[in-house]
Chains A and B, each alone.
Chain A
Amino acid sequence: MKGGDEEVATPAGPPQPLDWKFSQVFGERIAGEEIQEVDIISAIEFDKTGDHLATGDRGGRVVLFERTDAKDHGLSRRDLERTDYPISRHPEFRYKTEFQSHEPEFDYLKSLEIEEKINKIRWCQTANSALFLLSTNDKTIKFWKVQEKKIKKISKIIADPSKAVGNGNVASSSNSNSPKPFPTNGVSPDRSCNHLGNDISFPPGGLPSLCLPVVTSQETNLVARCRRVYGHAHDYHINSISNNSDGETFISADDLRINLWNLEISNQSFNIVDLKPANMEDLTEVITSAEFHPAHCNMLAYSSSKGSIRLIDLRQSALCDSHAKLFEESEAPGSRSFFTEIIASISDIKFAKDGRYILSRDYMTLKLWDINMDSGPVATFQVHEYLRPKLCDLYENDSIFDKFECCLSGDGLRVATGSYSNLFRVFGCAPESTEATTLEATKNPMRRQVQTPSRPSRSLNSITRVVRQAETLGVDANGNSLDFTTKLLHLAWHPTENLIACVAANSLYMYYA
């Protein structure tokens, strides 16, 4: 629907590497500011149109952003094209609203604390300009409706015997079908003076003295209401939720099971995958991520800690323990080490928009799989190969278990994922593309220069430093300055445009190309 794509697609050969520019930041930290744990963003998701963006944080809040530019040229695109604006056409967002989605809880039966941290957010089908989304913490999924509501200001009207004649006014004004039926009938101010006390003495006047309350205000505000709570279905921590293309069901996955829900029914779900062995000592792998196919309602994929992706067909059986397809990379002989299994664990999978490809992220690489080819990935991208010698350190400080997310561009030509030191990488995955860009989630390049003075300065103000791989990776690789505490785990690609939203601790950065 939006024609932004043609700009970037070059007519022949692999597409040119994109030139990424800083667009926006929300919740930017000032130097030395301490990050509050609850403010750290833990989930991010664009809706299907790309007009909205949602983030969830460890404090259980969900924040919504809406696109500001789209609405303008959505209304009068032709005018805009004619006037030939020189100003940026890239998407810009503004804060829309926020609400408290989850609260910390305590499971008394199991003596377990349940964190309020939002693990995943998924947008549902919009209807009537009301936005719908699912949010989940470790245990409970909630279905939210965010909608504009009129603020009610009511002129009090209660039957008044003396005003029996005056009702004609109300009748005539409300009769007209104009959008503002009640505002200025001149009666309401009088009526608002009538107090309850007037009426306690039952008037003999009778029925014509009754009239309806008048709403005067036309102001609206956004209200988020929790419509349904899907709880008590997961013994382990929920790691994924995903909507089905049929618009009526979704799945939720924890470490060992995947459940299927109907959006309308919150007290019942169906278990479709169960990896739990009779004896927990026989457990060899856990589910790390699960997603529905974007178009085929019967197909879903889930990844495991052993580095495999299974595609299952819901049509085959009610309990889909046997997979339809298995995607696994056979390990190169002789390369096995203590860490092999740990770093093979897949932290995130995403279907490409067309449903043909699946992108997976393990600790060291991004892999792109063709669902028609289960012998191995069609492409593998090394995300931070320079860390390989440091796996021991990363294991010591548990960083090796960090769960990085990945994303694909709407056109399926590029993929992106995060790394440490607030870096993220974008790779071209079109055939013969060699695009491999490293970016840092910041808008102020000077801040990092203190730590790594050898880096060339590019002080384009308010533009993020775009670092080409060749220039700087070496620097990162040999410096001890690598900061394992600042990791960029969550990021999302706009569904139709080249815009990446990514999360550095409590800040949300957006870059466009």
Chain B
Amino acid sequence: MSMIEEPLYPIAVLIDELKNEDIQLRLNSIRRLSTIARALGEERTRKELIPFLSENNDDDDEVLLAMAEELGVFIPYVGGVEYANVLLPPLETLCTVEETCVRDKAVESLCRIGAQMREQDLVEYFIPLVKRLAAGEWFTARVSSCGLFHIAYPSAPEALKTELRAIYSQLCQDDMPMVRRSAATNLGKFAATVEAPHLKVDIMSMFDDLTQDDQDSVRLLAVEGCAALGKLLEPQDCVAHILPVIVNFSQDKSWRVRYMVANQLYELCEAVGPEPTRSELVPAYVRLLRDNEAEVRIAAAGKVTKFCRILNPELAIQHILPCVKELSTDSSQHVRSALASVIMGMAPVLGKDATIEQLLPIFLSLLKDEFPDVRLNIISKLDQVNQVIGIDLLSQSLLPAIVELAEDRHWRVRLAIIEYIPLLASQLGVGFFDDKLGALCMQWLKDKVYSIRDAAANNVKRLAEEFGPDWAMQHIVPQVLDMINNPHYLYRMTILHAISLLAPVMGSDITCSKLLPVVINASKDRVPNIKFNVAKVLQSLIPIVDQSVVEKTIRPCLVELSEDPDVDVRFFATRALESCNQVMMS
């Protein structure tokens, strides 16, 4: 075995710490369970370690969670697939604990193991386990069982299959809403393994039960099942069974159910085919786009592009576009924001003419929205429109929007627009950028808020990457270096930061000729914070510039700083000197 080289003592400690008082140590041991197993060997892992872990079921949830995860990949350590069944008992116990995340992980691991088990083992060990859990006294076991049927079912003999279907149907009618929710969540997965004749009868009747549940929370999940089930059924069955349900759901009393429908509807269109989509689903979707509840409109608006992609353009223009126009002036800013985040994607769907004629006015009105998120969402997806109609038509309105966002009084808004500047630059081209945006980028370096200055420094670097060193040499570097004379030390510090970011992009020559002198100069600053930042920057420049420059320029400067009266300056200077020495040695 490969383990012999590994020293024994650390493993002994690891094993002992499985029962340590300190939860961190226990967690650590559990995380390295595979090491322990390899040290013990396959047989002793089966006969000792696994039973030991089965006993360990009252540990803290964090430990149980880690254990559930580790056991999922444990088949190689117990001797391969033929012994996989020994892993089931500890995971079965974990399927019954109170903490949801532990149960979920245990179910996941059981599925992973079950998927590899041999068919006769599944029948002998796995299916009885599923049945035990499904009949569990506590709801926790029954909740877990729902997620295992799709693994158990395919290899079951015919009689057992009938039984499993009956059990699942029972779970769909459990007293506890948690169990019914779990049954609803997993129905799609289970249905995918059930044979077509039973699908139409047994599964559909379970589905019907769930769609009529008293609890909103169960019906919600049944909606999610619609699309999954729809894809399994023949189109005509889907139209006959699923379509009425979803149309019903789209008018459910509960807004949360309608919200789910709004999120799922486009998936169902594919399952039912074009004709029912036109006659049933488009009207349902239009209703949702005009729902009374803003949350539903948000969900519906967010799917507008996906929905349109499925429809043909005429249908989209005829039915959906009018709603989109309404939504662009919706009273809820969140609806407008959701719309703005996807509407640009409609351009490729509708084509050039329709985009210019119909969508462009909407883009422009959203670009003038009072709510910054809406404007930001439009700007962030600019590339999608650019491909269809080019940027020129938009650029007139774009600039005021960008400038306004750049000067927004909320720094988070300013931060967001900075993030998009490289994207804008690439879409708008150098010319546009030089004229309009360059000044903004410099202005951000002098922002009152640190995060903005930080992002601005990064932005300068990304621009240099985008347009190349030559352009940067002309349009960025001089302006940036100018600011090193700012009377406020915090702004000078930002420039130092920007220099350290720019240097790798600009390359050795420019760094030596332009950037380095500025940094060296700054080492004479009266503020210690600047001086120790100079030391840090110099350290970062060492790998970029020539060895001779290091010795001639950087080292003397650092030596001087290392004798500074300020302790921090000395500290960073000394550290930088050390890396100088390292570079020299290598």
Chain A residues with Cβ under 8 A from B217's Cβ? 246, 248-249, 297
Given contacts A174-B52, A298-B216, A317-B255, contact A207 B19 (CB under 8 A): no
Segment of A33-41, A146-154, A416-424 in the binding face: A146-154
Bound-state CA distance A246–B218 (Å) is 9
Q: Within residues 304 to 333 of chain A, which ones have a CB less than 8 A from any CB in chain B?
A: 314-318
Given contacts A158-B12, A210-B39, A317-B292, contact A174 B216 (CB under 8 A): no
Q: A212 to B8, Cβ gap below 8 A? A: no
Q: Within residues 239 to 271 of chain B, which ones have a CB less than 8 A from any CB in chain A?
A: 252-257
Given contacts A210-B15, A212-B52, contact A202 B294 (CB under 8 A): no
Bound-state CA distance A296–B254 (Å) is 13
Residue in chain B with minimal CB distance to A315: B254
Q: B3 to A315, Cβ gap below 8 A? A: no
Given contacts A203-B8, A248-B217, contact A212 B177 (CB under 8 A): no
Q: A213 to B15, Cβ gap below 8 A? A: yes
Bound-state CA distance A237–B61 (Å) is 32
Interface presence of B40 (CB below 8 A): yes
A434 to B: closest C-beta gap in Å? 38
Segment of A22-30, A115-123, A127-135, A388-396 in the binding face: A127-135
Contact flags A431-462 to B (C-beta < 8 A → 1, else 0): 00000000000000000000000000000000
A146 to B: closest C-beta gap in Å? 11
Interface presence of A175 (CB below 8 A): yes
Q: B12 to A210, Cβ gap below 8 A? A: yes
Q: Within residues 138 to 154 of chain B, which ones have a CB less than 8 A from any CB in chain A?
A: 138-140
Contact flags B1-20 to A (C-beta < 8 A → 1, else 0): 10110011101110110110
Chain B residues with Cβ under 8 A from A295's Cβ? 214
Name A207's contact: one of B1, B216, B294 (CB within 8 Å). B1
Q: B49 to A212, Cβ gap below 8 A? A: yes
Interface presence of B47 (CB below 8 A): yes
Q: A210 to B98, Cβ gap below 8 A? A: no
A152 to B: closest C-beta gap in Å? 6
Q: B41 to A207, Cβ gap below 8 A? A: yes
Chain B residues with Cβ under 8 A from A296's Cβ? 214
Chain A residues with Cβ under 8 A from B97's Cβ? 128
Name B58's contact: one of A149, A157, A174, A213 (CB within 8 Å). A149
By the criterion of a CB under 8 Å from any partner CB, how many residues of chain A are at the interface?
54
Interface presence of B237 (CB below 8 A): no
A74 to B: closest C-beta gap in Å? 14
Interface presence of B361 (CB below 8 A): no
Q: A210 to B40, Cβ gap below 8 A? A: yes
Bound-state CA distance A296–B213 (Å) is 11
Contact flags B43-58 to A (C-beta < 8 A → 1, else 0): 0100111011001001
Bound-state CA distance A230–B316 (Å) is 44
Q: A128 to B140, Cβ gap below 8 A? A: yes
B433 to A: closest C-beta gap in Å? 40
Q: B9 to A298, Cβ gap below 8 A? A: no
Bound-state CA distance A449–B135 (Å) is 59
Chain B residues with Cβ under 8 A from A210's Cβ? 8, 11-12, 15, 39-40
Interface presence of B34 (CB below 8 A): no
A17 to B: closest C-beta gap in Å? 36
Interface presence of B211 (CB below 8 A): no
Interface presence of B408 (CB below 8 A): no
Interface presence of B295 (CB below 8 A): yes
Chain B residues with Cβ under 8 A from A246's Cβ? 177, 215-217
Q: A315 to B19, Cβ gap below 8 A? A: no
Q: B7 to A175, Cβ gap below 8 A? A: no
Residues of A within 8 A of B (CB): 125, 127-128, 130, 132, 145, 147-150, 152, 154, 156-159, 167, 170-171, 174-175, 177, 181, 199-200, 202-203, 205-213, 215, 225, 227, 245-249, 264, 295-298, 314-318
Residue in chain A with minimal CB distance to B21: A152
Q: A127 to B48, Cβ gap below 8 A? A: no
A454 to B: closest C-beta gap in Å? 55
Q: B47 to A171, Cβ gap below 8 A? A: yes
Q: A318 to B294, Cβ gap below 8 A? A: yes
Chain B residues with Cβ under 8 A from A202's Cβ? 7-9
* Among B12, B254, B292, residue most surrounded by chain A Cβ atoms (within 10 Å): B12
Residue in chain A with minimal CB distance to B1: A207
Chain A residues with Cβ under 8 A from B140's Cβ? 127-128
Q: B19 to A297, Cβ gap below 8 A? A: no
Interface presence of B176 (CB below 8 A): yes
Question: Chain B: interface secondary structure?
Answer: helix
Q: 24 interchain pairs (CB within 8 A)?
A: A125-B176, A132-B98, A147-B98, A149-B58, A150-B58, A157-B15, A171-B44, A174-B48, A199-B8, A199-B12, A200-B9, A207-B39, A208-B41, A210-B39, A213-B18, A225-B60, A247-B176, A247-B177, A248-B177, A297-B177, A297-B215, A315-B256, A316-B253, A318-B255
Chain B residues with Cβ under 8 A from A203's Cβ? 8
Q: Within residues 157 to 200 of chain B, which ones have a CB less than 8 A from any CB in chain A?
A: 176-178, 181
Bound-state CA distance A132–B256 (Å) is 27
Given contacts A246-B177, A246-B217, contact A213 B48 (CB under 8 A): no
Bound-state CA distance A175–B292 (Å) is 64
Bound-state CA distance A128–B257 (Å) is 32
Residue in chain A with minimal CB distance to B60: A225
Residue in chain A with minimal CB distance to B52: A212
Chain B residues with Cβ under 8 A from A145's Cβ? 98
Q: A317 to B293, Cβ gap below 8 A? A: yes
Name B4's contact: one of A206, A212, A318 (CB within 8 Å). A206
Residue in chain A with minimal CB distance to B44: A171
Residue in chain A with minimal CB distance to B17: A213
Chain A residues with Cβ under 8 A from B39's Cβ? 207, 210
Interface presence of B100 (CB below 8 A): yes
Name B216's contact: one of A149, A158, A171, A297 (CB within 8 Å). A297
Q: Within residues 201 to 218 of chain B, which ones have a CB less than 8 A from any CB in chain A?
A: 214-217
Bound-state CA distance A171–B41 (Å) is 12
Bound-state CA distance A128–B9 (Å) is 38
B458 to A: closest C-beta gap in Å? 28
B564 to A: closest C-beta gap in Å? 37
Chain A residues with Cβ under 8 A from B523's Cβ? none
Bound-state CA distance A149–B254 (Å) is 42
Bound-state CA distance A206–B16 (Å) is 17
Residue in chain A with minimal CB distance to B137: A128
Bound-state CA distance A201–B129 (Å) is 45
* Among A167, A227, A247, residue most surrounded by chain B Cβ atoms (within 10 Å): A247
Interface presence of B328 (CB below 8 A): no
Q: B16 to A175, Cβ gap below 8 A? A: no
B390 to A: closest C-beta gap in Å? 40
Chain A residues with Cβ under 8 A from B11's Cβ? 159, 210
Given contacts A152-B19, A207-B1, contact A158 B13 (CB under 8 A): yes
Chain B residues with Cβ under 8 A from A205's Cβ? 8
Residue in chain A with minimal CB distance to B298: A318
Interface presence of B96 (CB below 8 A): yes
B126 to A: closest C-beta gap in Å? 18
A131 to B: closest C-beta gap in Å? 10
A179 to B: closest C-beta gap in Å? 9
Bound-state CA distance A202–B8 (Å) is 6
Name A206's contact: one of B8, B96, B99, B178 (CB within 8 Å). B8
* Beyond A127-B140, A199-B8, A314-B256, 10 extra complex contacts between A and B, CB < 8 Å: A127-B138, A128-B140, A130-B98, A154-B19, A210-B11, A210-B40, A314-B254, A315-B256, A316-B255, A318-B295
B78 to A: closest C-beta gap in Å? 14
Bound-state CA distance A411–B255 (Å) is 34
Given contacts A127-B98, A297-B216, A298-B216, contact A209 B255 (CB under 8 A): no
Bound-state CA distance A215–B16 (Å) is 11
Residue in chain B with minimal CB distance to A201: B9
Name A199's contact: one of B9, B58, B98, B215 (CB within 8 Å). B9
Chain A residues with Cβ under 8 A from B3's Cβ? 207
Chain B residues with Cβ under 8 A from A157's Cβ? 15-16
Chain B residues with Cβ under 8 A from A177's Cβ? 51
Chain A residues with Cβ under 8 A from B52's Cβ? 174, 212
B28 to A: closest C-beta gap in Å? 15
Given contacts A127-B140, A158-B13, contact A171 B48 (CB under 8 A): yes
